Structure 1
């Protein structure tokens, strides 16, 4: 074989290797893209709806089990704090699917002011949020394919003050799933402050200064200071707007003790052992003390989970949590959480039957 022929063979070999490598990369990318698409498809059928009957219309998503005919039970989602849209940036969809497997539809809405929805969620009190929730329940009871006798609430964090109040005020609420709720707003705030300081290994001096600032803020809230008065007195305004100050002033005395004690429906309490936002021990003790009727309270506790019922090692890693949120969203949650809610809903129907 001539030298030129040998060079040609080598060049062809390199080209072939390059094309095979490129083709393999394309196949991997297409396969990965297909996997991501598959992981983000759910056995639910979503419909954009407008919930009427409350202070203002709500832009909502009604998700039904795919391929079924109903009538379905319904879980009305009650958001925690912050400007959340109906899907909570898709975070809710694995939960909707788990509930659909139990034969339940789900209803969730953009908070007022989010996605151009009417109103402003920062203008709301806890009672306003309870009224909004009950308006959604009343609306849902009239919808085709929804069983009006199997409607309950799911809610996380701040919803822990909303749901017991709503359930106490309406016999139409048949169950409550409370995820990482607190009982007392002020105790929760102090716990959160100290837990975050411990987590970042703050010095005793830093801790004392942070507690003193918190005490000054609380005194201003108790005095009903305006935002301008608070700012003029040297209050820390980083990240704090006048609307947020008004929201905190309106709601800082929230306490769910009496409403939880009045619950007469099945309650599933879900808690994370690594929660720095809410004192899980305090919440569990309160719910066990306040819900005295045997068989009503069901507690799911996950020792390694955060406030979001996500494993702590995943939530602490921005890379891992982002990857799972995109590529395998069901795996973002602590194992047992989605199945636990599905089993709770299934047990309600067995109890009813």
Structure 2
């Protein structure tokens, strides 16, 4: 779900609460069977603020799911949208650990200065911190990540072979092919004609040429004119990461159990390519693929995401139903199959 859509959603939430006087129902629906603890991780000289979400009862030791965010300035709870996932994992006997990105919600640093290698190192620092934590079973730690995390998860799993599993939601394989797919899909969805598509592709080729030349932001802006949402910081981030490709890291972590989750209405990622690459590289014995034909890139129901009012009402009154039907339960089942969680409530 895009950042603009989330801002609109929460603005509409306020309208609903003020006009409807339904605060009690909202509080009940947004109360989760979790024990949340604010935690701190020091990494690369920066303080990262996070949340450790434990099952509602028991001392453990619990298995653990470490969250790896997608693109953008994401806080530890992803504007609360992670909590239904945390709750589903808690029922499987697993805790969840998530840190706000550098520069977001109290975390120090700047996420736009990170490469995918930097993000993988940060993820492994979180895993190492968790292994020393009382109540966490260091033998039963895995990763969950969405979208851009598709380039981080394999890197981390390739370097730490003790990780028990990886859950990859809507991951891409190759940064450049993903960008082209997204550009063309968005244009076609808008009904763009051939002339507009050709113009967009020429602009894209200009951008790629400048990236290969390591051009400055000023040179980029002079060449393309309107840069849209590409700020100087975003340009540096793209320059660090535009060559990202997951294939080599997937090969290096090929014995790690993987749940690959793909959506039928994904305009960001070519899910056909992603599935083909994962099936080619990873052994069938370690790979589980699940399709959600009616879901978007964020695994929200397609019809729900298309309607701002329906999206808002669902987020307020039934937030667990934001996700595609069966999505939450299937991930919990995957964890139980991979390794039963001790201390499950």
Per the normalisation by structure 2, the TM-score is 0.91
Matched, 1:279 2:261: no
Taking the TM superposition and a 5 Å limit, the aligned residue runs for 1:34-49 are: 34-49=24-39
2:259 corresponds to: 268
Moved more, 132-141 or 61-70: 61-70
Whether contact under 8 Å (2:86, 2:96) holds in the other structure is yes
Instruction: Tell me if structure 2 keeps the 8 A contact 1:140–1:146.
Output: yes
Could you tell me how far 1:312 is from its partner in structure 2?
A: 1.0
Counterpart for residue 15 of structure 2: none
Structure 1 counterpart of 2:234: 244
Q: What corresponds to 2:99 in structure 1?
A: 109
SS of the aligned residue for 2:261 comes to: strand
Distance of 2:138 and 2:44 partners within structure 1: 18
Identify if the C-alpha distance between structure 1 residues 43 and 203 changes in structure 2 by more than 3 Å, giving closer, same or farther: same
- Once the 2 structures are TM-superposed, how far is the Cα of residue 235 of structure 1 from its aligned partner? 4.4
Residue 123 of structure 1 corresponds to: 113
Of 156, 159, 171, the match for 1:166? 156
* 1:17 corresponds to: none
Q: 1: distance between equivalents of 2:316 and 2:162? A: 37
**2:145 counterpart of 1:185:** no
Q: Is the 8 A contact 1:84 1:114 kept in 2?
A: yes
CA shift, 1:66, in A, is: 0.4
Alignment match, 1:224: 214
Q: 1: distance between equivalents of 2:302 and 2:184?
A: 18
Distance in structure 1 (CA, Å) of the matches to 2:251 and 2:104: 33
CA contact (8 A) 2:93 2:340 kept: no
Shift of 1:56: 2.2
Partner of 1:22: none
Shift of 1:95: 0.3
| Cα distance between partner residues in 2 of 1:68 and 1:29 | 38
Equivalent residue number for residue 323 of structure 2: 333
Q: Aligned partners of 1:208 and 1:68: how far apart in 2?
A: 59
SS at match of 2:234: helix
TM-score relative to the length of structure 1? 0.89
Show the 5 A alignment for 1:54-65.
Answer: 54-65=44-55
CA RMSD of aligned residues (A): 1.6
Q: Is residue 80 from structure 1 mapped to residue 70 from structure 2 by the alignment? A: yes
Contact 1:54/1:135 (<8 A) preserved? no
Matched, 1:151 2:141: yes
Indicate conservation of the 8 Å contact 1:55/1:132, yes or no: no
| CA distance, structure 2, for counterparts of residue 345 and residue 238 of structure 1 | 41
Q: Following the alignment from structure 2 to structure 1, what is the Cα–Cα distance between the partners of residues 151 and 210?
A: 22
Aligned to 1:20: none
What per-residue deviation string (whole Å, max 9, x for no partner) do you get for residues 62-120 of structure 1? 00000122100000000000001000000100000000000000000110001232100
Q: Indicate yes or no: 2:37 matched with 1:50.
A: no
Larger CA Rg, structure 1 vs 2: 1
Find the residue that maps to 1:114 and give its secondary structure.
Answer: coil
SS at match of 2:140: strand
CA distance in 2, matches of 1:79, 1:262: 22
CA shift at 1:52, angstroms?
2.8
Q: Does 1:316 align with 2:295?
A: no
The CA deviation at 1:322 is 1.3
Higher relative contact order (CA 8 A, sep 6+): 2
Task: Give 1:291's match in structure 2, choosing from 271, 279, 282.
Answer: 282
Which runs of 5 or more residues in structure 1 are unaligned? 1-27
1:35 Cα deviation after fit: 1.8
* CA deviations over 1:28-60 (Å, ceiling 9, x no partner): 956x33221111000001000001354422111
DSSP-derived class of the 1:193 partner: helix
